[in-house]
Amino acid sequence: MTDLDALQPLSPLWAGRLHLMLELMATLAFALSGVLEAARKRLDMVGVVVVAFAAAFGGGTLRDLLLNRHPIFWLHDLNYLYWIIGVSVLVQVFYDYFARVDKMLRWFDAVGLAAFTVIGAQAAISRGMSAPIVLLMGAMTAVVGGVLRDIVCRQIPLVLQKEIYITASLLGSMYYLWLPADWANSWVRSVSTMILIVAIRMLAVYRGWNLPSLTWRPKKAACTLERNVDEH
């Protein structure tokens, strides 16, 4: 296959398979992140499965409701339910092994963030939505599941922390829209967007990148605030 062939639009059959693969990948990645977080919080076996479902289905469910896509993606394919239950049980049984690799949670979350961003953007484009709505759907599909996971586990959601999280999703969606229109059904468009999002997210994690605050403080006030903090 030549480089030009790789950029040709996929046939409807292969486009559908790519979409299914991305959706399953994102669902399992967020389910794994939910299972690991719930197990770390020592929830019981049912609680772990509930958190896995919330993390995996939260963003996609809200997306389908807002875009009026019926049936909701996981209601017409029970394989999603079976996979998540299986993964939840497996990770709980071998949690001691998974717990040794704590950074896996960040990687699973980053992969889920990337895949769900692409899926959300594709869904909005297929409905003929404008660019701002495409960005919103991509980001919302990607972050809502993680927000539900963190709230149930009594954590401050990653999207509300001083980390580059939703920003990575928005940048990925903008990149997806920026690519030529004739790449619309190309696997290159989806894969390259996912790589970009994962790269931005994990570089932010390992290098401690975060967005600056927009709050303006006079220099004197800032020095006074720092002195008061030091005294306490």
User: pLDDT (tens digit, 9 = 90+) per residue, 13-54?
Assistant: 555 566 677 788 888 888 888 888 888 888 998 999 999 999
Q: pLDDT tier at 7 (50, 70, 90 boundaries)? A: very low
* pLDDT greater than 80 at residue 182: no
What would the pLDDT profile of 153-180 be if each residue is shown by its tens digit?
A: 988 887 888 778 899 999 999 999 988 7
115-164: pLDDT as tens digits: 899 999 989 988 999 999 999 999 999 999 989 999 999 888 878 887 78
Q: How far apart are CA 154 and CA 142, in angstroms?
A: 20
Say yes or no to pLDDT of 231 above 60: no
Closest C-alpha to 122, from 141, 147, 145: 141
- Dig out the tokens for 199 from the structure: 């790269």
Find where tokens 């997806």 sit: 176
pLDDT at 201: 92
CB 170 within 8 A of CB 131: no
pLDDT bin (cut points 50, 70, 90) of residue 64 is: very high
Higher local confidence (pLDDT), 219 or 190:
190
Q: Domain residue spans in the chain?
A: 9-231
- DSSP secondary structure of 46-90: HHHHHHHHHHHHHHHHHHHHHTT-SS-TTTS-THHHHHHHHHHHH
What tokens were used for 136? Answer: 């919103």
- Are the CB atoms for 72 and 94 separated by under 8 Å? no
pLDDT of residue 111: 87
CA atoms within a 13 Å half-sphere pointing along the CA-CB vector of 103 = 3
